[in-house]
Every structure is written in C-alpha cells, then in structure tokens.
Chain A
Amino acid sequence: MAEAHSVDNPRLLHHFRNADQQFSSSKLGMWLFLFTEIMFFGGLFVAYIIYRAWNPELFTMAATQLDTMLGAVNTVVLIGSSLTIALAIRAAQTDKQKMIVNYLLLTIFLASVFLVIKYFEYTHKFDMGIFPGAYYTFDGIDHPKANVFFSIYYMMTGLHGLHVIIGIGLMIWLVIRAKIGDYSSQWYTPVEMCGLYWHIVDIIWIFLFPLMYLIE
C-alpha cells in the first residue's frame, strides 16, 4: 500500500504516522509473540528430547498405544484449517465480507473436529488407566518410567489443545466482528494476526505428530 495519508482512516491510532507503520508494527509484535510461543513449547520439547535420549526403548513401546491413523487425520484437519484461515484473510483483502465469515466458520469447524478426535483419543486412554502423572495405572508397558512418557504426552498435547481452544475463541470473536462488517481491505489486522497464531498452532502439531505417534 503506498504512502497512506490516512487522516480520515478511523482505524489509525494517533501515535502512528500512517496505516502502514501501524500494520507492520502489529505484525512484528505478533511475530515476537510467536517467538515466545515457540520458546514456551520449546521447554516441553526439551523435556521430550532428554527423556527420549535417556529411554529410547520406552518411547518405542509407549508410542504403540497412540493411534497413528487418528494422528494423521488430525494433521490433515489442521492443515486444512490453516488453508481456510489463509483464505479468510484473502477474502478480507479482496473485500468479500461474506466469505470472511464463511471461511472463519469453516476454520472453527475443522478446529472442532480436531478437538473431537483428540477427545476420543484421551477418553480411550483414560479407559485403559493411562492417566497423567501419579494417577497412571496402566500396566501394559513394561517400563518403570512409562508414566513419564504419558506425562509428557499429556502436557504437550494438552497445551497444544489449549491453544486450539483459545484459537476457536478468537475466531468466534472475529466472526462476530466480521458480521458487523468491521474488516475490509482497508483494515483487517485482527484477522491477519489470528491467522499467524493459528498457523503456529498448526506448525507445532506438525512436529508433535511424528515425535509422538511415529516412533519405531
């Protein structure tokens, strides 16, 4: 967008010189936030790597309790939702108000599918006595630290699931505002930022899937 003299732009906050400066500031801020998200999950990945390096046989045994098929389906579901939210941003950029709402609703739907599948995975494990931490009662894995593997599994997928839920909440808020017609090619910053957040949730799952489900 060329030199926007946006004195008439109601979205331009007083302390910015123009809309471009405002938009690129928001974007850099969002990227820095994603940086913190990566370090936040990074702690759990470090725990994962260290325990896997210590007990490779445990990880091979325990991963057999995870359903590869469901994990793969969920991966594809999240990739699909990444596409739909990218399309929602595109709709905003091309001023297709109605399509913003539709694509966001589709993203929310896919995110919910992800959570439903996750719910079935969790309950299936709970039925077998695979609870997190000290409540672990499953005796199908012959390893003294089997509980630690599932603690890490629940912490990582649980934190990821929490991010999915937060994402759904954000998108519901976006739908409400998009319906009023708040977003257009002139100003769609929240849609763009929510998209960035959603993609990082996708990326984290892209790493979680092979690390959790595909261990031989």
Chain B
Amino acid sequence: MSAHHIIPMKTLISTTVALVVLTIVTVAVFYLPIPAPFDVVVAILLASFKATLVGMFFMGLYYDEKFNTVVLIFSFLFFLVFVGITLLDTMFRDTGISVW
C-alpha cells in the first residue's frame, strides 16, 4: 500500500462530523447520572474512540504501513505499564502484605 494515499474528501468530512457528534455525546453523558467509576470509564472510552478516528483517518494510519500503527499502540501500552505499576504502589500504601 502506498504511503502517499490521498484520503477521500467524503472520509475527511464524515470523520469530522463524527468527532463533533462524539464531543456532544461526551458532554451529554457528563450530565447523565452514571455511578462513580463508570462515568470515567465511559468518558475514557469515548475519548479513545475519538482518538482512534483521528489516528485512522486524519493521520492516515488506515492506509499506511502497519508498522506505524504498531509504534502508536506500543506507546499506549508503555503508558499503561507506567500507570499500572505505579498504581500498584500508590493504591496499596496502607495495605500490608497480609492481604494475601
């Protein structure tokens, strides 16, 4: 697949529309009474979906060499590693090892 793909006008416009609609949904969801941890989960899922749209169609990953997508996914994985392992400390400071 060529790196010089010309992204169709229709794709660009519909991506933009989808992103704007999703932004409105994000704000709307904020006013819905969703119980505590799930409101964040929904917000993050919506944001991730928006980011995926930007990545695939604006940044052209959908048409591009697949390795570039691998690079992007790895960056998110390493970020998750950073957060996840640090939380293992910060969330369990007061819990002794006896939890096991």
**Assembly CA distance A202 to B64 (angstroms):** 20
On chain A, the residues within 8 Å of B23 by CB distance are: 72, 75-76, 79, 209
A115-155 vs B, CB cutoff 8 Å, 1 = contact: the mask equals 00000000000000000000000000000000000000000
Q: Are A83 and B12 in contact (CB under 8 A)?
A: yes
Other 7 A-B pairs with CB < 8 A, given A27-B65, A45-B79, A54-B90? A43-B82, A46-B79, A49-B87, A82-B19, A83-B16, A206-B54, A207-B44
How many inter-chain residue pairs (CB < 8 Å) link A and B? 129
On chain B, the residues within 8 Å of A35 by CB distance are: 71-72, 74-75
**A contact residues, total (Cβ < 8 Å):** 48
**27 A–B contacts, CB within 8 A, in A order:** A1-B2, A27-B3, A27-B65, A28-B68, A28-B71, A34-B72, A38-B72, A42-B78, A46-B83, A50-B87, A50-B90, A53-B87, A56-B36, A72-B23, A79-B16, A79-B19, A82-B16, A83-B16, A83-B58, A86-B58, A90-B12, A93-B4, A202-B58, A206-B47, A210-B30, A214-B30, A214-B43
On chain A, the residues within 8 Å of B7 by CB distance are: 86, 90
Q: Are A39 and B4 in contact (CB under 8 A)?
A: no
Could you tell me which B residues sit within 8 Å of A by CB distance?
2-4, 6-7, 9, 12-13, 15-16, 19-20, 23-24, 26-27, 30, 36, 39, 43-44, 46-47, 50-51, 54-55, 58-59, 64-65, 67-68, 71-72, 74-76, 78-79, 82-83, 86-87, 90-91
Could you tell me which A residues sit within 8 Å of B by CB distance?
1, 20, 23-24, 27-28, 31-32, 34-35, 38-39, 42-43, 45-46, 49-50, 53-54, 56, 68, 72, 75-76, 79-80, 82-83, 86-87, 90, 93-94, 185, 195-196, 199-200, 202-203, 206-207, 209-211, 214, 216
**Assembly CA distance A24 to B50 (angstroms):** 26
Q: Are B3 and A23 in contact (CB under 8 A)?
A: yes
